[in-house]
Structure 1
């Protein structure tokens, strides 16, 4: 479980995140949703200890992230931020191999190579594994980055807007992969999403933020209600029952 207790980040007297009290259930996908500036990415990076907190405490799998050694935390939680700009010339396989660094310290073993191959195959990148990142499409490159994070084989995986700059087809493919990964590899995936309908279709839980606070959190079907979504996003939203589940209509 991921637990936030009275967590707060202060930027100024007018701008702050929190206080936040939240328990993220183990297993499946939890989607962080909300309007721009709600604090979704900030909360995610605080959980991943890429951003310090000004008050409160965060625990992941029972470990206080403020006190846990980095080498130990890297085997519990992994995170992929939006800014993925590698300036060096890397192949797909080399990139995915970085996910093994907490274990190999750069000296890959046969077991590491097998794990790398597993995630390259899982994300349908086998034919591209020797291609350089700058030779790939945006969708292919994003799959490679997520494969790298999953190759770290942590129980908890944090993804900040993995659908950013992807078209509809590649967004669907990415969410299908994440949905499978959560179940086949028994991962707890926390993902920041802008499109509420992707959260409705693929997330097991939705955590909605607004104004730096968590305003709704629960099973997807409980949060997918017209009144709740209208209030969160400050625009009229209808929730429609479809053969594939609940969908939000906001046009």
Structure 2
């Protein structure tokens, strides 16, 4: 379990995340939603220790993220940031292999290479494994980065806006892969998402943030409610049930 207690982040006099206390359950997919500027990505960055907290604490299965050695934490928790710019010219296989660094320190064994191959195959990238990243489409590159994160073979996988720059077809494909990773590989997947319908369709839990605070949290059906969504986004929203799942439509 990931536990945050009174986590805050301030830039000067501006409080971006304001005293967030939250338990993210082990297993399944948890999506963090909310309007722009709600503090979603900032909170996720603090959970993964990419960003220093102004106050509060975060533990992962009881390990304090600020005190746990980096290599030990990296074997339990991995994160894909929103911006993934790599200056070096790498192939897909080179990139995915970086995921083994916390385990092998760059000296990959046969077991490491097997996991690299499995991760490439899991993201349907086998035919592209020797292609350079700059030769791929945006969707293919995003899959390569997700393969790298899965190759790290951690219990917790954190993804900040993994659907960025993906069209509807590729976004759906990505969410299906992440759903499989949670169900088949036993990963705990935590996502920051803007599309609440993807969150509704593929998640087990939803956490909603607004103005740097948690405003709602719970199972999908508890959040995909007209009055709850209207409070989160400050606009009128209708919710419809399709195939046992709830989807939303915005209107003025």
Give the TM-score, by structure 2 length.
Answer: 0.98
Which residue does 1:157 correspond to in 2?
A: 157
How far is the alpha carbon of 1:244 from its aligned partner?
5.0
Q: CA RMSD in A?
A: 0.8
Which residue does 2:195 correspond to in 1?
A: 195
Which residue does 2:219 correspond to in 1?
A: 219
Give distance in 2, aligned partners of 1:201 and 1:51.
Answer: 30
Give the TM-score, by structure 1 length.
Answer: 0.98
Which residue does 1:208 correspond to in 2?
A: 208
Give distance in 2, aligned partners of 1:222 and 1:25.
Answer: 16
SS of 1:67's partner is coil
How far is the alpha carbon of 1:13 from its aligned partner?
2.6
Is the Cα contact below 8 Å between 2:8 and 2:15 reproduced in 1? no
Give distance in 2, aligned partners of 1:70 and 1:136.
Answer: 31
CA distances 1:138-192 after superposition (whole Å, capped 9, x unpaired): 1111000000001001100110001001000000000000000011110001000
Is the Cα contact below 8 Å between 2:208 and 2:215 reproduced in 1? yes
How far is the alpha carbon of 1:62 from its aligned partner?
1.1
Structure 1: which 5+ runs fail to align? none
SS of 2:165's partner is coil
Aligned pairs, number: 251
Which residue does 2:103 correspond to in 1?
A: 103
Structure 2: which 5+ runs fail to align? none
Which runs of 4 or more aligned residues in structure 1 lie more than 6 Å from their structure 2 counterparts after TM superposition?
A: none
Give distance in 1, aligned partners of 2:199 and 2:211.
Answer: 20
Matching of residue 45 in structure 1 with residue 24 in structure 2? no
Give distance in 1, aligned partners of 2:162 and 2:66.
Answer: 26
Give distance in 1, aligned partners of 2:187 and 2:25.
Answer: 11
SS of 2:236's partner is coil
CA distances 1:187-224 after superposition (whole Å, capped 9, x unpaired): 00100000000000001000000000011111111111
Between stretches 11-20 and 32-41, larger displacement belongs to 11-20
Between stretches 103-112 and 11-20, larger displacement belongs to 11-20
Give distance in 2, aligned partners of 1:234 and 1:218.
Answer: 19
Structure 2 counterparts to residues 107-118 of structure 1, below 5 A = 107-118=107-118
Is the Cα contact below 8 Å between 2:77 and 2:158 reproduced in 1? yes
